[in-house]
């Protein structure tokens, strides 16, 4: 793992000791043809920017978050141009068959572990992302859906959940940084 190591991943995942992986579990992986189209789409979006990074990478998972149970693609991009001290870019897309349409871009910056929770808000599954809190390290923070975007937790919830692990039943999608090359010579 690039920045975490086993101790950080285990602490963030609570009592679960998980192997390091930027790959989603079975059932959440993209079909190879969808993955190829997504990579081309992301390369166009992220690699042609003025702050494109040849070391950029991404992770992606197929998820069903909304009340219609429609498959969507959750994408985590690791790139110097799209990351800051709080984390990196997390987006949600709909696969239109020809391209991808951004459904939600209202995510706060994120760090792994990124997980699906069993709870729902306004009909949409809640997500857990790694939240950076200075000397307190990284801990799970809940994102809930609110009319077109996912909102981060409020200050009271933030303090109450600061040192808790992931709730029971959470499905971990990514527990490491992006593993698929995006920009540079590795992009076909």
pLDDT tens readout for residues 64-78: 999 999 999 999 888
Tell whether 172 is covered by a domain: yes
- The structural domain count of the chain equals 1
Maximum distance among all Cα pairs of the chain, rounded to whole angstroms? 46
- Reported pTM: 0.78
In which order are the strands placed within the sheet that holds 100-104? Answer: 100-104, 89-95, 72-78, 57-63, 180-181
Tell whether 184 is covered by a domain: no
pLDDT tens readout for residues 103-143: 876 576 678 888 999 999 999 999 888 876 666 677 777 88
Residue 129: other Cβ atoms inside 10 A: 24
pLDDT tens readout for residues 8-33: 333 333 333 334 445 678 788 999 99
Tell whether 186 is covered by a domain: no
Domain hosting 55: range is: 5-12+28-179
- Closest to 89 measured CA to CA, from 80, 101, 100: 80
């Amino acid at each position: 793992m690039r920045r975490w190591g086993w101790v950080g991943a285990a602490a963030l995942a609570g009592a679960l000791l998980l192997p390091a992986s930027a790959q989603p579990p079975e059932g959440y992986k993209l079909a190879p043809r969808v993955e190829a189209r997504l990579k081309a789409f992301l390369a166009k979006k992220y690699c042609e920017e003025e702050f494109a990074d040849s070391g950029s990478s991404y992770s992606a998972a197929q998820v069903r978050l909304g009340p219609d149970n429609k498959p969507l693609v959750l994408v985590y991009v690791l790139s110097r141009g799209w990351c800051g001290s709080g984390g990196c870019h997390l987006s949600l897309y709909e696969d239109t068959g020809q391209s991808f349409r951004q459904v939600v871009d209202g995510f706060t910056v994120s760090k792994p572990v990124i997980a699906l929770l069993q709870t729902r808000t306004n009909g949409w599954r809640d997500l857990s992302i790694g939240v950076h809190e200075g000397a307190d390290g990284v801990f799970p923070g809940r994102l809930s859906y609110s009319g077109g975007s996912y909102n981060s937790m409020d200050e009271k919830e933030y303090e109450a959940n600061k040192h808790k692990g992931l709730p029971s039943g959470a499905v971990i999608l990514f527990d490491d940084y992006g593993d698929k090359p995006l920009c540079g010579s590795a992009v076909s």
